[in-house]
Structure 1
Amino acid sequence: MTPLPISDLAAGYGIPDRALLRYGHDKAKIALDYLEGLPEYRERPSAPLVLVTAISPTPAGEGKTTTSIGLADGLRRLGRRPVLALREPSMGPVFGIKGGATGGGKAQLTPAQDINLHFTGDFAAIAEANNLLAAMVDNALHFTTVDLDPRSFSIRRTVDVNDRALREIVVGLGGRTGGVPRESGFDITAASQIMATFCMASSLADLRDRLARIVVGRSSQGEPVTVDDLEATGALTAVLRDALAPNLVQTLEGTPAVVHGGPFANIAHGCNSVIATRAALALGDIAITEAGFGADLGAEKFFDLVSRQTGLTPALTVVVATVRALKYHGGVELAALEGENVEAVRAGVANLRQHVRNLQEVYGQHVVVALNQFAADTPAEIEEVRAAMARLGVTVALSQHYSDGGAGAQPLARAVISALEDAGTTRPEKPRLCYEDELPLVEKALAVVQRVYHGATVSFTAAARRELLRLESEGRGHLPVCIAKTQYSFSTDPAALGAPEGFDVPIREVRLSAGAGFVVLISGSVMTMPGLPRRPSACDITVDDGGRIHGMH
């Protein structure tokens, strides 16, 4: 199908031309004042929200974004009016090892290359706001206009590429003209606190308030120093003002997609902006959004961070899996995934089962499993997955959206419609959460580890425990926790596949994300500045004489 001009796409969903800020003929921003004027945007939406998550990621791939896109196209083919809400890709993974994040095959967003690269400039605005703040922090230190302990700075500069050489650096060299020398470093833009704050904001006024309370460091007496103390709130809001309007694009089949914001799913909450989700709910009769990595990270954070603050509550969660990935969790080497191996599928289903039961028992969700089907999958392997899920009362829907687009996703779309009808009046008025606000931060972490990861204990370094105590003494103990750990396992050991139990989760560092409204607990070797692999994806990308880009996956 030929993509529609963006004005025609918008008009089909009731968006007037005056509400669009076009970036060419195939992408646009939707004016915030238009969205805020819609009753469906201001009030509790009547459209159901479908959350798409997955089993623990594997090198075999699960296709979560592709499934989200295929599901939306499948629903539209069945006469519904779905709207997608998805994250913007970071150029770090695009040029690194993962590649782009606009789907694949016949279930893709368009214009995919624009979205994977600079898009409408949102990431650049977020990076510049972050770097302006870092410059103002160093300026205050240089002129001693604010009492700041340089050892306490929590704002690092950002760049949207993987660059391990920037993880730890020294800034301020050059004597009196260079500033105050100190150790620092860069984070990738998607891991910055400005990104997380931007994506949690519900309006321009809310963004301004959230930016104001970001803690940039401590005084010589240990008191928090905020963006407002630096008188930087207005400037940061100005840099981010236009970026806050959500972006409108479409799938290859012409289904609208609101693509906006992109925090990493381990160091932050891994979901598109709150504004994008609310826009999808206001514009369509079903909204589909995605939470990054497996359900132990993405879905847990959607409920315990996003739903807690916004009230946005999914009526249904779709868990994406593949037979190949289940074999991998069952102990099969990558090179041997193609042959039938029912025993390995049976063993690997433990990972899927644990994610599904968490969603049912901890978060009270109705669940559908989307089995992203490949040609090599055998009937016996598929039946093994169906039988395991039937024991949990969960439908398994096969989907062939990669090869057949929305037509191949219609079985999944029908299963989602049926599950939404079954949910009916049992849709929760407010989200069920893993823990209550009143619990101490340590007990919140333990609740996630025991109830979601199925571990046994949480251990803290002395420095991490001191920081938790300080945050609670400052009245921040009510905040939720965002645990940063590997995405490849329920545990902190990426080699512990399947459904490990009884392990410890060691927390080495605690960071306050005051603007986003949560406390980040960093475990293991999780890094906020990734490195490139031995042969990065960037090596395969070329541009022909006609300006067409090739090799971007």
Structure 2
Amino acid sequence: MSEDDSGFPTDYEIAQDADLEHITDVVEPFGLTEDDLELYGDYKAKLSMDAVERLKDQRSEDSNLVLVTGMTPTPMGEGKTVTTVGLGQAFNHTGRQAMIAIREPSLGPVFGIKGGAAGGGYSQVLPMEDINLHFTGDIHALTAAHNLISAMLDAHISKGNELNIDPNNISWKRAIDMNDRALRNMVIGLGGESGGQTREASFLLTAASELMAVLALADSLEDLKERVGRIIVAYDEEGEPVTVDDIEATGAATILLRDALKPNVVQTLEGTPALVHAGPFANIAHGTNSLIADQAAFGMADWVLTEAGFGSDLGAEKFLNVVSRFGDVEPSAIVLVSSVRALKYHGKDMWPADMDELEEPDVEAVEAGLENLDKHAANLQQFGVPVVVSINRFPQDTDEEIEAVVDHCESQGIPAGVSNVFSEGGEGGVELVEKITGAVEESEADFEFLYDTEESIKSKVETVATEIYGADGVNYVDGAEDDIERMEELGLDDMPIVMSKTFHSFSDDPSKKGVPKDWTLDVREVYPSAGAGFLVVLTGDVMDLPGLPGRPAAADMDIDADGTISGLF
């Protein structure tokens, strides 16, 4: 096995060296048989809907959900997924039955900067190349369903427009599962009458589609169909919403999503079952795997490990205020992932990030950055759930830097453990598992939401802005006040909210590190995701279709004549 510059095998090499079990053997100890699976080869499968319904009914009263989130990360991420996967392995390593439930990767980030989303090192879900590429076709199905709705909407407009749709007030974009900045803004319908209605249009990444959020929140095929039907795609000349139901696209779109609704089951390097399903953005959506996968996992194991996207100010806040509200998935404990390099990133008040400089030992910078970690921990404790800090150890971290973090957390009364799951697999997470189970056993958890959905939209926005982000208040700019009034007129003001904000900072300014003081949050737009069941509150420029960097990750990928892949990570 070859090694990278650090002397450690690459993720792909570790994955290729693994001895995978047949997926039926992986799930058999968890109460499933081959009849419960729809096989996609030997190592991938979907749970049948009959199995899902049975598993929902089998949930134990003693089941526990562990939500993995993180501090404000560097642009490279601090290892939430590898921690989630590693903890699942570690729980089983200690004799506790555990399941993992995480999001599916999107091809855009895989080929762009971020790479895959299947964990890493010795804490991966497998087969990693399949999961990071086409997998079971869920995202392709979502792309097709999204664009079917787009096609039917434009066909309606060009063939009589009986609904009197305003071509200048269409909210439904087209979708593609690839980072392609050239498709962000365009004009369609050129070529005369046969080209349809000429208008401005744009694409978004499939992961940013409301259909992805709908899929991730639906708990049955019937619920999925209902949610798809109420998605607002445009407004008519009177300003009234036009839905997927109105353009008669609900049934066909749901047909395309029928199989995509079924959770995918794979395995980790150590044979722990993992449900890898759905992947909504943690910015303009809620950023977690599917609710149906979580509910199925509860019927298979006593401990379920799941992950929220970005830092806790975005991902965990949405899980706790939105996902937990829609389904019975209140966490028993929250794991807050940190790293020495992220602490130095905030302690040095660095923007943009210099990853080479962050690898240099600097205990003072680590200590200066601890205020960011403390703010995340304090935010999460507001929900009445115990918090445990995981320090994801990298090879360059010194003992002194690690000790500074552990000592600080202990002085704050927050359990903290070092995670070595990347290099050691499940065994490297045993210390952290004991911290988590101890916190759950000692806790008198009394979970509560941060706001009531019956509060006004402004009240909900200002609660998140002040109590989570640390803002002094909120400014409503660029027509946001009109948007709020419109949501109230449409009777959509009783929904939970999804705040769209930069993940680089607690504030709406990505350059501000640590815990910014003396600032006001600017809200510039509010619009409904009626199918998903929440309002989206935009606080900055939203990138729903990223572009590729000057040298994308794809440039270093290759495949040999025998099918061996290189450069995928």
Same fold (TM over 0.5): yes
Q: Are 1:45 and 1:281, in contact at CA under 8 Å, matched by a contact in 2?
A: no
- Give the C-alpha shift of residue 464 in structure 1: 2.1
Aligned to 2:427, the other structure's residue is in SS state helix
2: CA distance between counterparts of 1:44 and 1:218?
A: 46
Query: Normalized against structure 2, the TM-score is what?
Result: 0.94
Mark the runs of 5 or more structure 1 residues left unpaired by the alignment: none
2: CA distance between counterparts of 1:60 and 1:243?
A: 29
- Give the C-alpha shift of residue 506 in structure 1: 1.5
2:237 to 213, 220, 225: 220
Partner of 1:32: 49
Q: Are 1:60 and 1:328, in contact at CA under 8 Å, matched by a contact in 2?
A: no
Q: Are 1:40 and 1:46, in contact at CA under 8 Å, matched by a contact in 2?
A: no
- Supply the AA of the counterpart residue of 2:407: A
In structure 2, relative to structure 1, the CA distance for the partners of 1:44 and 1:14 (3 Å cut) is closer
Q: Are 2:56 and 2:295, in contact at CA under 8 Å, matched by a contact in 1?
A: no
Partner of 2:342: 325
Partner of 1:459: 475
Partner of 1:307: 324
1: CA distance between counterparts of 2:366 and 2:474?
A: 31
Q: Please, which moves more after superposition, 20-29 or 410-419?
A: 410-419
Please show how residues 27-426 of structure 1 align to structure 2 within 5 Å.
27-38=44-55, 40=57, 46-59=62-75, 61-143=77-159, 144-331=161-348, 333-360=354-381, 362-423=382-443, 426=444
Q: Please, which moves more after superposition, 220-229 or 290-299?
A: 220-229
1:507 to 511, 520, 523: 523
- Give the C-alpha shift of residue 231 in structure 1: 1.6
Aligned to 2:223, the other structure's residue is in SS state helix
1: CA distance between counterparts of 2:179 and 2:357?
A: 31
2: CA distance between counterparts of 1:282 and 1:137?
A: 40
Q: CA deviation digits over 1:499-539, x for unaligned, max 9? A: 11231221222221001111111122221111111100010
2: CA distance between counterparts of 1:187 and 1:10?
A: 36
- Give the C-alpha shift of residue 270 in structure 1: 0.6
2: CA distance between counterparts of 1:323 and 1:40?
A: 42
Q: Are 2:55 and 2:295, in contact at CA under 8 Å, matched by a contact in 1?
A: no
Q: CA deviation digits over 1:270-324, x for unaligned, max 9? A: 1001011111111111000000010000100001111112231000000001112
Q: Please, which moves more after superposition, 461-470 or 68-77?
A: 461-470
The answer to whether 1:450 aligns with 2:466 is yes
- Give the C-alpha shift of residue 417 in structure 1: 1.7
User: How many pairs does the alignment contain?
Assistant: 547
| Alpha-carbon RMSD | 1.4
Query: Normalized against structure 1, the TM-score is what?
Result: 0.96
Q: CA deviation digits over 1:465-508, x for unaligned, max 9? A: 21111111111111111111111100111111111123122122
2: CA distance between counterparts of 1:499 and 1:437?
A: 28
Aligned to 2:165, the other structure's residue is in SS state coil
2: CA distance between counterparts of 1:321 and 1:303?
A: 20
Q: CA deviation digits over 1:6-31, x for unaligned, max 9? A: 11112121112111111110000000
- Supply the AA of the counterpart residue of 1:256: P
Aligned to 1:84, the other structure's residue is in SS state strand
Q: Are 1:2 and 1:253, in contact at CA under 8 Å, matched by a contact in 2?
A: no
Aligned to 1:409, the other structure's residue is in SS state helix
Q: Are 1:60 and 1:325, in contact at CA under 8 Å, matched by a contact in 2?
A: no
Aligned to 2:114, the other structure's residue is in SS state coil
- Supply the AA of the counterpart residue of 1:414: E
2: CA distance between counterparts of 1:411 and 1:19?
A: 35
Mark the runs of 5 or more structure 2 residues left unpaired by the alignment: 1-17
- Give the C-alpha shift of residue 346 in structure 1: 1.0
Aligned to 1:340, the other structure's residue is in SS state coil
Q: CA deviation digits over 1:159-196, x for unaligned, max 9? A: 00000000001111121111100001000000011111
- Give the C-alpha shift of residue 392 in structure 1: 2.9
2: CA distance between counterparts of 1:288 and 1:237?
A: 29
